[in-house]
Amino acid sequence: MDATVLLAIAVAAVAFLYSTVGHAGASGYIAVMSLFGLAATTIRPTALVLNVLVSVLTTIQFSRAGHFSWRLFWPFALLAVPLAFAGGFVTLPTHVFKVLVGIVLLLSAARLLAKPGADGVEREVSKPVAVSVGGVLGLLAGLTGTGGGIFLTPVLLFMRWASTKQAAATSAAFILVNSVAGLAGNFSATRTLPSVAIPLAGAALVGGSAGSFLGARRFDHTVIKRMLAVVLVIAGVKLIFTV
């Protein structure tokens, strides 16, 4: 089978899995494109294009199902977008940084697998706290080359600031605005998009459409938390072993 077809199948699978939990799949796309030997200059903009497309689908699906709250979303997004843009320009000693972030994601996954917990909102986050947390997560998104949902969803769930599907809807929109900002920054610098993004975009749309529909309208909160744990493991392992 042609390598491009295999890559497209892998991208569709990643889009399906991630979109069920309100994520767009950046870390998964980067991982599979790396395995297929694509150049770094091709991987980053292609992953951003796929992230934007799948996050649009996921945001629409979870919003139509009644899970999106603008009141919850906007404080987290306020500082996230400019700081995500800034984070993309910062170079840090990435070895220790990525390992630490990866360990945090793996611990979060372990907690979700061991104890999914009840689904519900116990407390309302104050706007100053949400703005601050969003800014930190936006910067972290820029530094790690992701949309930031991989960090926001566990925070919303563990702090009981949102139900499982509210967290998914909020994270989908959070990923969308951060990914658009990142893609705009990348395109302004390169003035080009890789040609491989076109067939992979089709695959991502297929997988993302199915996954976001099931996540928003069919899967219960326990299933989504289990799938989120799988996503966190993939992202955590990628961060730890691609330093």
Q: Which of 31, 54, 19, 4 is nearest to 176 (CA)?
A: 54
Is the pLDDT score of 33 beyond 60?
Answer: yes
What percentage of the chain has pLDDT greater than the value 90? Answer: 43
What confidence tier does 143 reach under pLDDT thresholds 50, 70, 90? confident
| Distance of alpha carbon 119 from alpha carbon 123, whole angstroms | 13
Is the pLDDT score of 189 beyond 80?
Answer: no
Mean predicted confidence (pLDDT) in 205-234: 91
| Distance of alpha carbon 166 from alpha carbon 152, whole angstroms | 12
Domain boundary assignment for the chain: 3-241
Q: Count of CB atoms within 10 A of residue 122's CB?
A: 8
From the CA atom positions of the chain, what is the Rg in Å? Answer: 16
What confidence tier does 3 reach under pLDDT thresholds 50, 70, 90? confident
What confidence tier does 94 reach under pLDDT thresholds 50, 70, 90? low
Mean predicted confidence (pLDDT) in 103-122: 76
What percentage of the chain has pLDDT greater than the value 70? Answer: 91
Is the pLDDT score of 195 beyond 90?
Answer: no
| Distance of alpha carbon 116 from alpha carbon 114, whole angstroms | 7
Is the pLDDT score of 118 beyond 90?
Answer: no
Single-letter code of the amino acid located at 74: W
pLDDT at 70: 95
Q: Which of 169, 109, 111, 97 is nearest to 140 (CA)?
A: 97
Is the pLDDT score of 243 beyond 60?
Answer: no
The gap from C-alpha 155 to its chain's centroid, in whole angstroms, comes to 13
What confidence tier does 179 reach under pLDDT thresholds 50, 70, 90? confident
pLDDT at 216: 94
Q: For all residues of the chain together, what is the average pLDDT?
A: 87
Is the pLDDT score of 97 beyond 70?
Answer: no
Q: Considering the entire predicted model, what is its pTM?
A: 0.86
pLDDT at 156: 93
